[in-house]
Every structure is written in structure tokens, then in C-alpha cells.
Structure 1
């Protein structure tokens, strides 16, 4: 993230959100106050931790991305990762050993210099915590400190996306001295003995342009500018991220000027902002995709574990109506390799993809030719402002047309659904996914035998040839060859897999017209350090 320097005086942290206005015609005195006011963002968050070793939710990078630094980062408009804490790097001829030279001027908020020891501690800890985030470091065999400013990372196998992976929050570099002081452990016992998460959930140990001031679940998060940041200072002294799950409340708040950015608006709500002065609309296509998951283990997925039932559902879903429901700009990729990645294909024609005759034919070949009833578990999350419960109702309506009756069971993500989903015990659901890093290799997690594939009970022995494509693609450093392999995966999984991708979401953000640099980021959601007035 390139940071824009701007000296601001320290004021207004104690103001309530209701008193904040970033819009309107101001008198000279109030203009100065507006420039010094906090940046207030309303979102429907899914995060619950800001410990980089654990964080794996869609919105966590919005915070972690400005509190911590990485070896590499994705800057606005960049097609490839750019150095951040790394000054330069070399790769061995076999593609297994990466040696990074660190910049010497980077320091943590504590004042401690960023060293190779901190990189090793951070990566070892992330690996040994054995969390969901740990999967992003699965290929790392060892991290070795060469000297204070040189660190070497050895991989078990060549990885064509390794530099892109280092931009993810799992690779954030922590102040090892501070984390150890608060219970941090990086050795093999970390999963059992590390106790630093609570500290890192409410304070930070990073070298980024902001520090975490406070976090109250279901209320708000406050970050303050790191005045000793080693790079260019960001514009805003204080950022408040307000938990506002109701998109209508977000709409009213941005119209009234009580917030600066409404992050979870639907396309239907945009028309209500057409005549509102001082509000700008930012729209883009995201890499966030929604999918139906059908567990392949009969004991968990029950009827939907039947491959013919899975195909019947694939043809029964009305993709065109789902696109309309989600809003203008929605597209439907052929498979879990989103449109925009190398190897992806053009969006499918939603009208031709739905075929009830084929759906009924597939069902007739299954063990349940006369249809069946089944529970459909759905949680309370709302990707890009669209509740998954709304998607579930649409799927229920579609499947009734082929005599599949689903009973929608509503659950909360934090109340057990999240754990069940990750522990591979959810049989039939609608969920969503955003890339962990900006490379199609991140989507290979959906292949049989990989960690998302296994959430659907899709083991490697169910499709050994397809499972083997993971290693083939990851090891291939020639992008032209890799593209061909990915295209093959798209073709096969678009026709036969326990995942049905029903949409690639658009994104609509309403923001004060006084703001600059408000852009959607697939990695960070918003690059907060880029926003200014």
C-alpha cells in the first residue's frame, strides 16, 4: 500500500459517530474540523480476530493490511506484488529457496527494528498454530535467519504463486519481542501453548501505518495512525469501523452524513442515492464468489452426496434469477476459478445453464428419482450485502421444481456454523469465498483432497487425476503452460464437483464525495491507507 503523507493534528477521537459529518457545505472553521475528523466506515463484519496467525475471514485483511506489513503487498492498480518489507529477493534454480533482503529503515510501533528474526518468528508461529490461516504456509519447510536483514525460506515444492502468497495476512510480520512478552510461541507446541491471540485481538504488534486502538465485538473497531511509521503517513489520524449489519441503516447513515463510507449496499439501494449531493458511488466486479456445497460423504451429505443429485441441482438452479436477486453487475463463472484469473473462462450464459428437463433426467438416474426432503443449513453472513438466507430461499424455490424439498435451518456463524463448516460436518449449504491472495492457485483449495474440497468430503481418491492437478499447477512456473492446466480444471469441475458456483458478486460502495482513493480491493476490501480528503 503506497501511503500518502499528510500532517494532521490530534483531535476528535472522543466524538460519537452521530456527530461526524464528512459531507455538506461547510464554513471555514468546520472545513478544518472535517479534515481532522475520523474516517468512519460502516460494514457488516465477519471478523472476530486480528491475530494474523488465526485470521481467515473476508474482512479481517481490511484491518490487518494497515496494522501489519508483509514482505510483499498489492498496491492499487498493480498487476503483480510489490516489495514492502522486502527490498529485494533471489530464487534458487530449482525454485525451492527464496532469499529476501529486508529494508533497514522499517520499525515496529514499539520502536523495535524489523529484522529477519521477526520474519522467522512470525512465519514459524503461523505454521505451528495449525489454524485455518496455516494452510497458506503449508509448502514452507523452513525459515532461516542469515543475518539481521536477510532471511531464507525453503519450500518443499516449487510454488508458482509463492510471492503472491506472501501478500496474505497469514504472512504478516509481527514484532517477535512484543508477541513473546504477551504469550506468543512459535515452536511446534504453539497450537497448545501460544496465548497471544487475546492481546493481538485488541492491540497490535505491527509495523504498519495504523495501530489497533480498541475492538468491541458487535460495536466498533478503532485504529489510530502510527505517527512513527517508517513510510509515508496516511491522511486520517483515526479510523472507526462501525459494525452496522443492516444495509438500510448504512444507507440512511451515509445519506445523513453520519458515516463516510457505506460498504454493504445492494444495487437496489443505489437509486436512493441518485439525488443526494455529496455522495459518490464506486462499483466494481469482485473476486467474491457464492457457491452451493453438497457434501460427498453419504453420512453427512445424505441425498446430495449422490453425484446424479448434484448434477440435477446444478441444472435446476436458476442462475439468471439469482443474478437479478444479487444485483446489476453479477456474473456467473463456469467453476471456482473466477473470471479475471488466468485460465478462467468467460461467464456462463445464465439462461442456457438452467435446464429443468436435464435436471429431472439426472434425478431419475439417482437413488432418489421421486425427489426427497433435506435440511439446508445457512448462516447469518451477507457477502457484499446480500444475506445468504436470501440466497437459500431462492435455491429452495428452484429445487421445488424438481421435487427436492429443502428445510432451511438458520444458524449463526459464530454460534457454531463456522466451526461445523470448517470441521467438514455441514452437509448442504450456500457459502461464499474470497481469494486469500491474488493468484488462481488460491482457488485450487477447492480441488479434491485440498482443504476446501475436504469441507465437502471430496477426497483425493474420488478423482485422483483431478487431485494430481494441484501439484502440477502449483509447480508450473511458465504461465502459458499453467493457464492451459487451469483451463482443464475449469472444464472438468464446471460439470462435475460437489460445488456449484452460482455468482461472482459485484461491489457497490457509497462514500462521501470529499473522499479520494476509495477503491475496492480483492485482497484488502478497502486499502484504508490510500484514502484521503
Structure 2
């Protein structure tokens, strides 16, 4: 296995030679161990945690998320304004900004990028929901007109999936932004070997289930990053990541779980535990094949049967938090929400009222992944034990993540587990992804592409109001939406794991970011 070979090489005499000499420290490639789990490198088709790291390093948005994770700062746009009702946003582009080929970042690139993101109709396309038109009165001015108020639009633009693409280069290689982009665009394969952004790094090589390699952007218009080359090595499990870190084969291990972290005791390694906005959830799809019995009452019963604190203790050794709704702790609208409750008596009572006191069986599929220190298969095994207490049997079938993504769309998976990390600080993203609004990602999947009507009209109305509100009123409206999402019992958060940052002690600048996971351009060697 390639990872093992890499570890042995770097742990041996060759590694010592490479690692010696302070003058060469910043010239060494930075090696990061993590499960790649990449679905695409196309900025408008990619949708994964590693994708966030990659895209925020090779592309740049009009704005960026500040280090406080709760505000935005200028990036490609030096300034922006909005009208009073948040339906028009005007941006002025930095005249110094250039793409990696040296060509200037212009208004036409912004317009093209936003239109392609919307028209591809891929996973992150929801970020352009409500954009009515885009004007470019000159090369450095962009005006975005919305169909209705959207108080979170500026925050959305900090997401890595909204990074601006060099439209000339991408178009020459099969990309299109037209209304038929979902069928006409042919650029995904090209993006697996090339990047076309203005970020501090460019894509060097990508080998699926092997490595993702970056090199510094020689035409970068900002301050050059400290490290010239970065390699993300595919290492699937926490133990192997920790072994690479301890041997010197990796500088950073990104998915070390609490149990594994507790075995690391070396002055050469720094272990930090920080709260995160990430979470693991289970989901129900009554419209999926085999999900016919999963009406609202049955979903409520299953949710009552889960031992939430036990799941936190079992999966992350207690290093995590309960989470009330699909909007994570600390985001607008989450203060004071009722936390999930284990209540076996209530679960049994509901099932008995449905004539299901003898239970039933569900065949489920789960991706074979370890995310945020949680093994999804082990989590489902814990929940399997929980549900057995109310005579519900689940048969677990672990599969590759790519297979899971295919099956969740068709024929659907009645009950499974998944994960989510924020793209920016704002609650709209969770409503647009998890809410039972028409044609959201989980409304489509849970309904079986419309076989079951799950649309929550209250969420639709409240969300429109929230997008036109600010301050305390916005928080109040998102709180009401969160309560409705809890009632839906489609998405049930199980654990918000604390994040473990594990890295060699000579590495500096490692931090968790709500939009990007790990800002690579900030990392250097002491």
C-alpha cells in the first residue's frame, strides 16, 4: 500500500537527510494525512471537506471569512454595498488581482462564475438560489440583482465553492455557464488535472485515493505562502494517520480521534482540541425504496430511541456536544433550542399506536468513512443497538462513499448517517440544504424525488422572512425555522465532535476554519 511505503521512507535515513537544515525547512513539502474523500475538483461540482481545503487554496472569492469565523473581509472585492432591502449588491474588484496565468480578474469572470455555479445544478448550486441577474457596467464592477431579499448573500460569497474561475481558460477546456450547463458542460475531467483560480496555490497533481498535491502560484498577487509545496496523502483511518505523524511521515494529521490522540505522547507533536461547527447526523428518507413505513410518527419514535450521549461517548470518547437542530450550535437561531432526548417509553408508545410494537426491519447503507474522528459504520452499529431496544432491526451495509452518493439519489436509502461542515458563518445554508423546502438537497432525497410530500410550508414562509431580516429579528426567525426542522425528523443530529488538531511541533499557523477546514496559506515551519 502506497501510504505504508511513504511512511517507511520518511521514517528512515532518507527522511533524516531531507529534514535536516533549517534553511531548507520551508522548501520541504508539507505533508497532510487525511481521508481524501473527494467527489470532484470542479469548483461547482465539488462538495466535500477536502474540497473546501483545496478550493480555498486555489481559488478566491469576492470576500473571505475572517479568522473569527463570524465576519467577512475583502478579498477579490475591495468594497461592496447593498441596497436597503438586500436585493442588489455592488462589488468593486481589486485592480491588482490576477489569475494564476497572470491575466486580470475581471467582472466578466465573476458573472460567468456565478452563472455557471447556478446553472450546473450540482450540489453547491443552492448558493446561487435567488440570483436574478448580474450586470457588469465595467471591467471592475459587478452588480448582483436578487429575486427577493437575501441578507446572507455576502456571507455566502465567502464559501470556497463561490471562488472566481478564469472564465477564458475554463471555457477553452469545455466549461460553460449557459442555462444548459447541467448537460452541456464538459470540463469536469479537465478540472481533475488543472486549476484556474487566483489563489496562493495551484493544483499540481491529483490521484484518487492516493494524493492531492499543490504547488505555489508563481503569479500570486498577494503575499506568497510560507510553504511552496503541499501534499495531502490519502490515509483512511485515524490510527494510520497518527502513525504517520509520529514517524515524521506527515506534518499534520487531520482526522485523529480522541482515543487515538490519547495514545500520542511526544514533545515533537502538538495536540489541540477545539470546538467545531461540524456535525454527524442520521437521516430518514420515507420516499426511498424500503422507506414506506417511515412516516412522521415512526421517525419520531426512532429519534426518541437513540442514546445521544451514549453515541458521543462511544464515538468520540465524550469529546463532543449534543446538537439540537440541523443548524449547528453557535449559529444564528440556535440559542435555547431543546436538545435531542432519549425516551424509550415514548418511542414504544408511538410504535404501539401504529401497530408496530413488534418492530420492523430496515436495510440501510452507510459510507465507509471516518469523519471528524467518527467512524460512520461504528456509529450506525451503536444506533443499531439502540433501536433493538424498541424491536427495530437495522441491517447495515457499508459501501464506498461514491456508491453511497449514487444510492442516496436513486433508489434512495431509508436510513443512514452523514456529516456536514459549514461553508460560511450563516444559518441560511442549513435551511437551503437540510430544510424541507421545495427542491432542497434533502427534500429531494428524503422524498424520493417527489414520491412523498415533505415540503414544510412554515419553513418556506419563515425562511423568506429571515432572508429579509437582520439582528435579533433574524435570530428569532431562524430559531423558529430550527424548531420546524426538528419537528420534521428528517435530519437528526447525533454528535457535534470537538476537532482535534494534531501536528508536528515545528509547524505553525494550524487552525480550524468554519469555511475552509484548514487554511493552507497560513501554515509554515518555525
TM-score, normalization: structure 1? 0.91
Q: Residue in 2 aligned with 1:267? A: 258
**Given the alignment of the two structures, is residue 383 of structure 1 paired with residue 371 of structure 2, yes or no?**
yes
Q: Tell me, yes or no, if structure 1 residue 474 matches structure 2 residue 467.
A: yes
Per the TM alignment, residue 26 of structure 1 is displaced from its structure 2 partner at its CA by 9.7
1:315 aligns with 2:340: no
SS at match of 1:272: coil
Structure 2 residue corresponding to 1:277, chosen from 259, 267, 273:
267
Q: Which of 121, 146, 151 is equivalent to 2:137? A: 146
How far apart are 1:28 and its partner, in Å? 10
- What corresponds to 1:34 in structure 2? 25
Superposed, 1:55-454 pairs within 5 Å as 55-274=46-265, 276-297=266-287, 300-303=290-293, 305-327=294-316, 328-345=318-335, 353-414=341-402, 416-422=403-409, 425-445=412-432, 446-449=434-437, 450-454=440-444
Offset at residue 345 of structure 1 (A) = 3.0
Contact 2:463–2:477, Cα closer than 8 Å, also in 1: no
Q: How many residues get paired?
A: 512
Cα displacement (A) at 1:172: 1.0
**Contact 2:115–2:178 (CA under 8 A) maintained in structure 1:** yes
In structure 2, what is the Cα distance between the partners aligned to 1:129 and 1:492?
A: 30
Counterpart CA distance in 2 for 1:512 and 1:299 is: 47
CA drift of 1:349 comes to 6.3
Structure 1 segments unaligned to the other structure (5+ residues): 1-14
8 Å Cα contact 1:448-1:460 kept in structure 2: no
Aligned-residue CA RMSD in angstroms? 2.3
- Report how far residue 218 of structure 1 moved: 0.8
Q: Does the CA contact (< 8 Å) of 1:21 and 1:34 recur in 2? A: no
Q: Is the 8 A contact 1:20 1:37 kept in 2?
A: no
- Residue 306 of structure 1: how far off its partner (Å): 2.2
Match of 1:512 among 485, 504, 520: 504
Provide closer, same or farther for how the CA distance between residues 234 and 28 of structure 1 changes in structure 2, counting only shifts above 3 A: closer
1:508 is paired with a residue whose SS is: strand
| Maintained 8 Å contact 2:69/2:425 | no
1:27 deviation in Å?
Answer: 11
- Show the counterpart of 1:10: none
1:28 and 1:369, CA in 2 relative to 1: closer, same or farther beyond 3 A? closer
Partner of 1:3: none
Q: Is the 8 A contact 1:296 1:456 kept in 2?
A: yes
Q: Is the 8 A contact 1:209 1:233 kept in 2?
A: yes
TM-superposed CA distance for 1:101, in Å, is 0.4
3-state DSSP class of the match of 1:46? Answer: coil
Going from structure 1 to structure 2, the CA distance change for 1:428 and 1:349 (only over 3 Å counts) comes to: closer
State the shift of 1:211 in Å: 0.5
1:306-342, Cα deviation, whole Å (9 max, x unpaired):
2221111111101111011222331111111111112
Q: Residues 374, 99 of structure 1: CA spacing in aligned structure 2 closer, same or farther, 3 A cutoff?
A: same
Q: Is the 8 A contact 2:306 2:386 kept in 1?
A: yes
User: What is the DSSP-based 3-state SS (H/G/I as helix, E as strand, rest coil) of the residue aligned with 2:524?
Assistant: coil
Deviations 1:18-42, CA, capped at 9 Å, x for gaps:
55579x9999952233332111000
What 5-or-longer segments of structure 2 have no aligned partner?
Answer: none
Task: State the 1:126 CA deviation.
Answer: 1.3
Distance 1:151 1:326 in 2: 47
Aligned residue among 436, 451, 456 for 2:446: 456
- Out of 469, 490, 501, the position equivalent to 1:498 is 490
Partner deviation per Cα, 1:256-315 (whole Å, 9 max, x = no partner)? 1111001111100112112x1210012212211111111133755222x22221111111
**Given the superposition, is the C-alpha separation of residues 73 and 424 from structure 1 closer, same or farther in structure 2, using an over 3 Å criterion?**
farther
